[in-house]
A and B are shown apart, each in its own frame.
Chain A
Amino acid sequence: MPTASRLLLLLPTTTYRTEAFVDAAAKLGVELVCASERPSTLEELSPDSLVTLDFADPLASAETIARFARRLPIDAVVPVDDQTTVVGAAISQRLGLKANSLPAVSAARDKHAMRRCLAEAGVPVPRFRLVRLSDDPAARAEEVEYPCVLKPLSLSASRGVIRANDRREFVTAFHRIARILESMDASPSDEARRALLVEEFIPGREVALEGLLVGGTLHTLALFDKPDPLDGPFFEETIYVTPSRVPETTQARVAAVTRDACAALGLTEGPIHAELRVNERGPFVLEVAARSIGGLCSRTLTFGTGLSLEELILCHALGRPLQSLERERRAAGVMMIPIPRAGRLAAVHGADDAAAIDGVDEVAITMHPGQDVIPLPEGWQYLGFIFARAETPAAVEQALRRAHARLRFDIE
């Protein structure tokens, strides 16, 4: 009788992605080993399924898992978000598993290395430059064109991303990002703490491509529109709706540019999440991450006979057949509920009313009463998520906006 596949999931303790991946593993009958950067209270009682790894030290983590795998072989490694992509590649490489190479994933994790790699390959990206935090910001502010965008090298969810329209705003943004990086107690890497990226602000609409790389071929799983303008000064993501309403020729161009970006980076296997700006000059790649969509947003996606995105990812990682990569027929979308101001969340009102809106599948409030809430650019969380499905993308967007309008958050 064949033994069940054993899968290592790399799950930061702060990720939103745990439930979706753990559920997917259970549905697929996979034996699960969960690794986090901080120990589980049950690790001593369950050492075959709970492991602690230093995600900031990929090579040491790879050695730890290599020792573990001598006793209990691992069939696949799946990092669930940005914090674990590099360590995931290091472990896969150490175990000899099919996965993205460590240099490819490392380049995708560092915004400057990614921009440089893509620009050298002729993939359209904003003009960019690296600025050291040891530099004099006033001097650097003299050297750039405006408007520009300043961003940390390795943070996610638009954290620390700030538009500057002139030299004064540049200096203010520079100091604000420096404070964010100083306040972080763990990753990013030392290098990512010492510099930031300054790039051209690209006007236009933004889209996100969710894809799966199989043997170097990119399959587009979904293309999301972001209908709310993202013009700064901060870049808070709110609504994602798929299928996209941009012209099909533009969608094809977005897919082609994303494919070129993956090839340039050397990404060949597993999920990717790409974000692009599109205007009359064509698509510009802002980011290609070697992971799936963040937050709870994957709940918008089902494939074939009802497979979740995470089931697809795990099947691919385990080398199992992929029955269908075709998304469901209906339009779907999510609203990441933004934090309007800093404070302490006292109460949430209207969640049942919001969930009753036609087309709304679910209203998930993920922050708890009493929790400190921090808006962008310092924050990295959302109050929650609203999910909707309907016949058209416009109807999905309308349902999300109507539901959001029924929610009220008491922030003290």
Chain B
Amino acid sequence: MSAELKTRVQELIDSMINPAVAGHGGFVELIDVQDNRVYLQMGGGCQGCGAADITLKSGIERLIKEEIPEVTEVLDTTDHAAGHNPYYTPGKA
């Protein structure tokens, strides 16, 4: 089941998500699917980006759940502190 789910998530990432986040120099890598939970890592402009949580929760997770309703959650395993070129950098404004 997980293997099939993993394939469908990967196809979605390849066909829709990565072409979109590439606009900000970012990419998303599928790490695993376990118990209907999707584990991702973000890279490039997404790694350390101030808007990464928006991208993940209101973009990526929503898209994946819409297309693959059996997915219950999308979890970010990225080490954002190690990001070298985030698209947006936060400041106390």
Work out how many contacts link A and B, with CB atoms closer than 8 A: 118
Whole-angstrom distance from the CB of B73 to the nearest CB of chain A?
Answer: 9
Determine whether the beta carbon of B58 is less than 8 Å from that of A49. Answer: yes
Which positions 67-93 of chain B face chain A at CB distance < 8 Å?
81-86, 88-93
Which positions 27-53 of chain A face chain B at CB distance < 8 Å?
32-34, 36, 38, 40-46, 48-50
A49/B62 contact (C-beta < 8 A), A36-B54, A42-B17, A42-B21 known: yes
Whole-angstrom distance from the CB of A83 to the nearest CB of chain B?
Answer: 6
For the complex, count residues of A whose C-beta is within 8 A of B.
47
Which positions 70-94 of chain A face chain B at CB distance < 8 Å?
81-83
Whole-angstrom distance from the CB of A154 to the nearest CB of chain B?
Answer: 10
**B23, B26, B57, B63 pick with most chain A CB within 10 angstroms:** B57
**Dominant secondary structure at the B interface:** helix
Whole-angstrom distance from the CB of A308 to the nearest CB of chain B?
Answer: 14
**Which single residue of chain B is at the shortest CB-CB distance from A382?**
B92
In Å, the complex CA distance between A364 and B24 comes to 24
On chain B, the residues within 8 Å of A255 by CB distance are none
A381/B92 contact (C-beta < 8 A), A42-B59, A370-B84 known: yes
User: B91 is contacted by which of A34, A44, A48, A380 (Cβ under 8 Å)?
Assistant: A380
User: Does residue A315 face the partner (Cβ distance < 8 Å to B)?
Assistant: no
A157/B91 contact (C-beta < 8 A), A40-B54, A45-B16 known: yes
On chain A, the residues within 8 Å of B38 by CB distance are none
User: Does residue B41 face the partner (Cβ distance < 8 Å to A)?
Assistant: no
**Which single residue of chain A is at the shortest CB-CB distance from B16?**
A45
**Which single residue of chain B is at the shortest CB-CB distance from A351?**
B81
Determine whether the beta carbon of A46 is less than 8 Å from that of B63. Answer: yes
Which size class do B's interface residues fall under?
20 to 34
A49/B59 contact (C-beta < 8 A), A42-B20, A157-B92 known: yes
A380/B93 contact (C-beta < 8 A), A41-B26, A45-B20 known: yes
User: A16 is contacted by which of B48, B50, B81, B86 (Cβ under 8 Å)?
Assistant: B50
Determine whether the beta carbon of B20 is less than 8 Å from that of A13. Answer: no
Determine whether the beta carbon of B90 is less than 8 Å from that of A46. Answer: no
**Which single residue of chain A is at the shortest CB-CB distance from B21?**
A41
User: Does residue B60 face the partner (Cβ distance < 8 Å to A)?
Assistant: yes
Determine whether the beta carbon of B54 is less than 8 Å from that of A368. Answer: no
**B22, B24, B86, B92 pick with most chain A CB within 10 angstroms:** B92
In Å, the complex CA distance between A115 and B52 comes to 37
User: Does residue B31 face the partner (Cβ distance < 8 Å to A)?
Assistant: no
User: B59 is contacted by which of A15, A45, A157, A381 (Cβ under 8 Å)?
Assistant: A45
User: Does residue A26 face the partner (Cβ distance < 8 Å to B)?
Assistant: yes
In Å, the complex CA distance between A42 and B42 comes to 14
User: Does residue B29 face the partner (Cβ distance < 8 Å to A)?
Assistant: no
On chain B, the residues within 8 Å of A13 by CB distance are 50-51, 88
Whole-angstrom distance from the CB of B74 to the nearest CB of chain A?
Answer: 10
On chain A, the residues within 8 Å of B84 by CB distance are 368-370
Determine whether the beta carbon of B85 is less than 8 Å from that of A14. Answer: no
Determine whether the beta carbon of B89 is less than 8 Å from that of A381. Answer: yes
**B22, B55, B89, B93 pick with most chain A CB within 10 angstroms:** B93
In Å, the complex CA distance between A380 and B89 comes to 11
On chain A, the residues within 8 Å of B22 by CB distance are 41
User: Does residue B11 face the partner (Cβ distance < 8 Å to A)?
Assistant: no
Instruction: List 29 contacting pairs A-B, 8 Å CB cutoff, sorted by A.
Output: A13-B50, A13-B88, A14-B93, A15-B50, A15-B93, A16-B90, A32-B58, A33-B58, A34-B54, A36-B51, A36-B54, A40-B58, A41-B23, A41-B26, A42-B17, A42-B58, A42-B63, A45-B16, A46-B63, A49-B58, A83-B93, A157-B91, A294-B92, A295-B92, A366-B81, A366-B90, A367-B89, A368-B81, A380-B92
- Beyond the given pairs A16-B91, A49-B58, A368-B81, 18 more chain A to chain B contacts, judged by CB atoms under 8 angstroms and listed by A's residue number, are A11-B51, A13-B50, A14-B90, A14-B91, A15-B93, A16-B50, A16-B90, A18-B53, A32-B57, A34-B54, A40-B58, A42-B17, A42-B21, A82-B93, A156-B93, A364-B81, A368-B85, A381-B89
Please list the 6 inter-chain residue pairs (A to B) with the smallest Cβ-Cβ separation, ordered nearest first: A42-B59, A157-B92, A49-B58, A13-B88, A381-B91, A22-B53
